[in-house]
Structure 1
Amino acid sequence: MIASEDDARAFVAKRCSAEAFAVLESYVEHLRREAENQNLVSRNSLDAVWSRHIADSAQLLDHVPRGNTNWLDLGSGAGLPGLVIAIMRPDIAVTLVEARRKRSAWLEYLCATLATCAPRIIGAKLESVLDERFNVISARAFAPLQRLLDLAGRFADERTIWLLPKGRSAVEELASLAPEAQKGFHVEPSITDDHAGILVGNYRVPERKS
């Protein structure tokens, strides 16, 4: 369990290059400044930004085997977790979907400013995004679990890894699914909050009958 900002920085540093870590430091400074203009994250959380946001995002990489090359992040907001993943692992093609124009514009600006950071940014509602298959789908505070699966299922196949940080509601949300859907997921403990969980699965959402 990560107990301090120093622990969080060390955790992240072990999982990326020195160059990528420097870019993350720059990202954190941009995040702090932009928090004065829009509510990207809780102001209080900025006091523990490395543990609450950067390491919290970086831990998702521990559940993704090497060789997964494209990643869809839903409701990226401040770039969490998708932009952090894109910075740490430039070998993965990351797509960020953010419908709120002010936030997607900031992400576009940020990616033009930060070195070695080139995710694809889609500033639109998920319903209007064209079908495409992804190796990994992540979402942090995007929608309740069943709604999320209904919206994003068309981007997954049986090999897709779902990584869904659900905080303290992880077990409860998993229990809300139909029994067959529950079999596709399990709860992994978060390393940043001993009460939080991450839903991890290889679940393919059944196609709806017409």
Structure 2
Amino acid sequence: MISDEVQARKWVADLGICDDKAIERLKILIEELALENARQNLVSASSLSAVWQRHIADSAQLLTHVSRETRSWLDLGTGAGFPGLVAAILQPYCEVHLVESRKRRVEWLERITSQLEIKNICIHGKRLELIDSFKADAISARAFAALDKLLSLSARFSTSSTVWLLPKGRSAQHELDELKGWRHTFHVERSLTDPDAGVIVGALLGRKGRAS
């Protein structure tokens, strides 16, 4: 369990996919996030004192559930850019699609992506319903929507081999237990950054009663 900033920074550095350039980008991201947070509420102000644990490592832990062959990643309702920005920094070979409809947050994402010279990000500044379908190898969402609604909105981007990575906090097991009408292989993994939180991980196989 990652319990403080020192452990969080070490854990990220020890992932095996985080070189010096990635670390430098993460440091700049943290600095710029604090500045931007004074202008708009991207993340809770209290979380900035534990940003490596609450946002960087919390995002990076999702990468332990995907293969190095992952080439496309869809992050829904990315907000400040978590986990999508972190995934793009740590996986420069993977095209990461960030979906965010709020104008000021889109502007932040465009600005920080340009500043960090991240070439493998595609920012979709509109509602998910307006984005043309494509198939993603991984789909993530942090605080985007309740599980059933999330799947209804985004199942068209998934195949049976897509890995879903859904941090759900304390509600993870409850939301999964309440999920009806879908065929899936979802299970809850304990979060490495919060002992009370869970991450729903697995594949979506389609709606019950329909061919996959």
**TM-score, length of structure 1 as denominator length:** 0.95
Change (3 A) 1:207 1:176: closer
Q: State the match for 2:12 in structure 1.
A: 12
Instruction: Indicate the residue corresponding to 1:145 in structure 2.
Output: 147
DSSP 3-state at the match of 1:24:
helix
CA–CA distance in 1 between the matches of 2:118 and 2:133?
27
SS in 2 for 1:204: strand
Q: Which amino acid aligns with 1:149?
A: L
1:79-115, Cα deviation, whole Å (9 max, x unpaired): 0000011011101110000011110111001111113
Counterpart residue number, 1:73: 75
Cα separation, 2, equivalents of 1:34 and 1:72: 24
CA distance in 2, matches of 1:207, 1:38: 42
Distance 1:122 1:207 in 2: 30
- Partner of residue 131, structure 2: 129
**Secondary structure of the corresponding residue to residue 204 of structure 2:** coil
Q: State the AA in 1 paired with 2:88.
A: A
* Structure-2 change in CA distance of 1:92 and 1:207 (3 Å): farther
| 1:63-142 equivalences in 2 (<5 Å) | 63-142=65-144
Residue 59 of structure 1: aligned partner: 61
Cα distance, 1:180 vs structure 2 = 5.1
**Higher mean C-alpha displacement, 149-158 vs 114-123:** 114-123
Q: Percent identity of the aligned residues?
A: 49
Provide structure 2 residue ranges, at least 5 long, that are not aligned to the other structure: none
Tell me whether 1:47 sits opposite 2:53 in the alignment. no
Q: Which residue of 2 is the match for residue 189 of structure 1?
A: 190
Evaluate the alpha carbon distance shift between residue 180 and residue 204 of structure 1 in structure 2; reply closer, same or farther with a 3 A threshold: closer
Q: TM-score, normalised by structure 2?
A: 0.94
Alignment partner, residue 204 of structure 2: 203
Backbone CA RMSD of aligned residues: 1.5
Secondary structure in structure 2 of the residue aligned to 1:165:
strand
DSSP 3-state at the match of 1:143: coil
Q: CA deviation at 1:199?
A: 0.2
CA distance in 2, matches of 1:159, 1:145: 19
Please name the residue that 2:158 is paired with.
Answer: 156
**Letter of the structure 2 residue corresponding to residue 171 of structure 1:** Q
Query: Shift of the alpha carbon at 1:179?
Result: 6.8
- After superposing on structure 2, the runs of 4+ consecutive aligned residues of structure 1 that deviate more than 4 Å are none
Per-residue Cα deviation, 1:12-35 (whole angstroms, up to 9, x for no partner): 112211110110000000100000
Tell me which amino acid in the other structure corresponds to 2:14. Answer: K
Question: Secondary structure of 1:34's match?
Answer: helix
